[in-house]
Amino acid sequence: MLGAEEYIASTGGGLYRTRNAGRSWSRMDEQLDRSYFRESFKSNGRLYTSAALKTPSYWGGERGADAALYESFDGGSSFQAVPYPGQPQDFVISWSSLNTDDIPIFAGTYKGNILERVGGIWTSFAKVPSTVRSLEVI
């Protein structure tokens, strides 16, 4: 579990963790096949993150962002890739929840899709006409 000195940083060059309030960082994504991260999210003891193969300037073409969504049930020691609507072209870049231990979890994407995770499955929830850079349940 993340504590007061433990943080995760999603970067354009990898996923990093510090356990000492930033004095040192270690890579968390070495077992993953993508390294461009935008944001990670923790809820109900699970860690969610997504990654693309390359930076946004490469997101054209048939595979788009060539993105994947990952979930970790052990605090980031291991990750499972999970399917989601819009994959691999669309890239999850924002997260939100009800701020409780209850589901659902929401994810906003580069192409304006809002996804919902209920019962372990990601489904389409809504669509907005632009990139969802920030998402908040109010």
The answer to whether residue 100 is domain-embedded is: yes
Of 99, 61, 98, 70, the residue nearest 10 (C-alpha): 70
Lookup: tokens for 81: 């890739």
The answer to whether residue 99 is domain-embedded is: yes
Domain containing 57 equals 7-127
pLDDT over threshold 60, residue 20: yes
The answer to whether residue 132 is domain-embedded is: no
How many residues appear in the chain? 138
The answer to whether residue 133 is domain-embedded is: no
pLDDT over threshold 90, residue 97: no
The answer to whether residue 42 is domain-embedded is: yes
pLDDT of res. 1: 52
Cα radius of gyration (the chain): 14
CATH number of the domain within which 48 lies: 2.120.10.30
Mean pLDDT, residues 55-65 taken together = 89
Domain count, the chain: 1
Lookup: tokens for 44: 């109900």
pLDDT of res. 60: 86
Lookup: tokens for 63: 């595979």
16-53 residues labelled b (16+ CB within 10 A) or e (exposed): bbeeeeeeebeebbeebebbbbbbbbbbeeebbbbbbb
**Kind and range of the H or E run holding 38:** strand 36-43
Say what percent of the chain tops pLDDT 90: 78
Q: What are phi and psi of 57, to 5 degrees?
A: -65, -15
Of 44, 125, 35, the residue nearest 84 (C-alpha): 125
Mean pLDDT, residues 60-73 taken together = 92
